[in-house]
A and B are shown apart, each in its own frame.
Chain A
């Protein structure tokens, strides 16, 4: 932890307003099928393609009491439909955060919304049982406008229960849904570097700190600058063979609308927001608003490198304010 950052936040904790710190026992808690441990980092950074360094915050995987390395976005929570899941969030003293499992619809105590339940200070165990396979994400819901922009989010994937009639290792988007060989998780987000200098409580007690006015300068894909790096970054850019099927899990993690195009490839949208579509639709592009998810099946018919573009559109004017790019390379 960056000691200066931590100290300044500690000293100013009382400046936070309209937060509801608590860490009660989880109602109806049972032995889970799977447990995820998350703590907080607020001293992360990413280096943009222009050389500038931007501070990011997120969740660490602190299983076994170890604070593992900062990841941005935060490490994935991946579960199987029907499992009882515990997400154990530990928030160090003097900080206040939550986890909202976006699109998951649990009891209100486990929804991670401060003004309705509590903001976590200490340790709270979120208990939930996903009923629907699909693509979700999790994020902090404290001073959300800032904390989500700072990067406090990670993918949340619910896989279907394996079908006993499928060959071992078969991957499906959802029960009865399409199979896939290769998976891409693209969390597309924009960054306003001015916001990334603010303390965690910024604005909560009033005063104009500019949180109405997002002026993004960087456009990232799953934590990687989409100006150039994401074109080839492992884990973002896709490499696949002709004949394989790709599942793109597109997570709209920004605030401005986005338009994603698949470099001339046709995508078949099979699900959105964690629910299968009654009838899949074929598209060349998708325009999405903040927090939507689209599950897209792509079966390239020709080898080549396809450049995927995510245009970020100003929420008022509609003007393109930036474009992030990555690739699908088919050999």
Chain B
């Protein structure tokens, strides 16, 4: 099974582009457009860092692939967004963005098209609210970014500006729950996450198989790692698809903390830790790519980690520290 597929930009595609670089790319326009996108609900198995194969479902780019999470969408405020969901599975699913769109149940084998107009810039999670929360945890989730009209570098009109942006979706995985869903049953055990991911990937430290492989290693994947030179201010749209509250800790610079759960904060606090609520919490923050302030002699290059400070999430299979939900920051 193909681990990850990238959106093929068609000639007509003026919106929803996450390029192979992993960054969300965007060209400004002052007019609204009609954006069309198709996701195929598929399933399959993904090998975890300890070798365990775990069942997942995803909004995928093709019937033969499995994307966990979905490739993110980015649109303009005021666009007419049309999303077609092809449910290739034998179970009922949906496509929901809270406050924006709800497909309702999509029966096995059915295709449903929804249309909606996002008017508020910001960051959203699209997900499956059927069989809640299980389908969402199985991987049926993705990031949805709404840009302010005519802007390339703001989160909302008048926000601090950035030069590049990406989406981080965190998830935690209880393989017992996933196995139950694979069998078409509801989990009956207490939730006990054993694997932890950022954009569907765990990390692989130096010396481990897969270290540096962008398709496996979250520290090397272009959709998760931060890479920039001094001044390459990077907006990170953080979404928590999982059940655990996370502590998003970054080294090298403090975050500029802009929004929490969709609310614009009245002041921009500088934080080295961000409290990401469980069950679909969200945060927008800018990593400023300033020279690390406490270096002596001063430096402008280097590599630093981003990791969740609730350190249980830095493990896999109950051990294997450094095989969890983390990535790296590259000052180049």
Contact = CB atoms under 8 A, between A and B. Distances in A.
Interface of A: 17-18, 20, 28, 30, 84, 101-108, 110-111, 113, 115-116, 127-132, 143-146, 148-149, 202-214, 255-257, 272-275, 277-279, 287-292, 313, 315-316, 318
A30 B296 contact: yes
B95 to A, nearest CB: 26
Contact of A148 (B296, B297, B311, B319): B311
Interface string B309-320: 111101101111
Contacts of B269: 272-273, 275, 277-278
Which of A130, A145, A255 counts the most chain B CB atoms within 10 A? A145
B234 to A, nearest CB: 16
B247 A203 contact: no
A213 B268 CA distance: 34
Nearest to A103: B272
B243 interface: yes
B304 interface: yes
Contacts of B296: 28, 30, 84, 106-107, 127-129
B315 A316 contact: no
Contact of A204 (B244, B254, B319): B319
Contacts of B311: 144-145, 148-149, 211, 255, 290
B330 to A, nearest CB: 10
| Secondary structure call for the B interface | loop
B187 to A, nearest CB: 13
A107 B272 contact: no
Contact of B205 (A18, A111, A128, A272): A18
Given A18-B205, A291-B249, A111 B304 contact: yes
Contact of A106 (B246, B295, B303): B295
B315 A203 contact: yes
A105 B253 CA distance: 6
Interface stretch (B59-67, B81-89, B100-108, B189-197): B189-197
Contact of A144 (B50, B243, B272, B321): B321
Contacts of A277: 267, 269
Contact of B312 (A105, A108, A127, A214): A214
